[in-house]
Amino acid sequence: MNTLIELIKEDRSIQFKISIIILSIMLIIVGIMIKDQVHSTLENHRNKQASNLIKEAENYQKTGKVPEAIKKYEQALSSEPKNTQIRSTLGSLYYERKDYKKSIENYTALAIEKPSDTIVYNSLANAYRDSGDNKQAIINYQKSIELGNSDSIANLVTLYNIDGQYDESLALINKELVKNPNNNTLKLLQSSTIHKQQQ
């Protein structure tokens, strides 16, 4: 009889432990669900807030109030730091205002988010070029060309020519002419580069 009572007590103890485990699992699941719901609600609020700020920025931009537009875009970016459209717009606005440091910061962050976007690298190269950093400009033009942006070729050739790097310029042009022998722009760049090299 004594053993039967002990088995019953032990059985109740196991049942109690199982109940505690099940209750713990349920509490964890509920906690995860609440956390996800709170995260989703906060995300929706941030998106709505950023959207409103973007609309305000666009209105300022349309009316020529660029500093105010930049301020609103920066606020929107604080709400949505991964928003590539905001970054691109800021990079462009800073570039137009000749604030190359901030333009470079935004285009660099954008290149991290969109590593295969040729326009980003071309824009980044333009900002470096205009800031006086031809070395970084060349690197980013080359990256843009590697990714398939033929518009960067003329920019890079022009930069090479300004720096007196005519051999590099002609090598690039000739490489691209092999791919596209009927490209009149490349032929014009080639002729212009040869002329400059001979001066």
The string of pLDDT tens digits covering residues 153-188 is 999 999 999 989 999 999 999 999 998 899 999 999
Three-state DSSP class for 99? Answer: coil
- For the entire predicted model, the pTM comes to 0.73
92-126 residue pLDDT tens: 999 999 999 999 999 999 999 999 999 999 999 99
Whether residue 23 is predicted with pLDDT greater than 90 in this model: the reply is no
The answer to which of 25-39, 74-88, 137-151 has the lowest mean pLDDT is 25-39
pLDDT attached to residue 128: 98
pLDDT the model gives residue 51 = 86
Which pLDDT band holds residue 48 (cuts at 50, 70, 90)?
Answer: confident
Over pLDDT 70: what percentage of the chain? 77
Instruction: Let me know if residue 22 belongs to a domain.
Output: yes
The pLDDT value recorded for residue 49 is 85
- Does residue 125 lie in a domain region? no
pLDDT digits (tens, 9 = 90+) for 69-83: 999 999 999 988 889
Give me the pLDDT at residue 8, please: 53
Radius of gyration of the chain (CA): 30
Reported as a pLDDT band with limits 50, 70 and 90, residue 16 is: low
Cα dist. 15→8, 11, 21, 51, 103 in Å? 10, 6, 10, 53, 65
Residue 6: the pLDDT is: 60
Residue 59 lies in a domain: yes
pLDDT at 38 over 70: no
CA–CA distance, 45 with 52 (Å, rounded to integer): 11
* Residues of the domain holding 23: 1-81
How many domains does the chain contain in total?
1
Position 114 in a domain:
no
Q: Would residue 92 count as lying in a domain?
A: no
Tally of CB atoms within 10 A around 118: 18
* Structural domain includes residue 27: yes
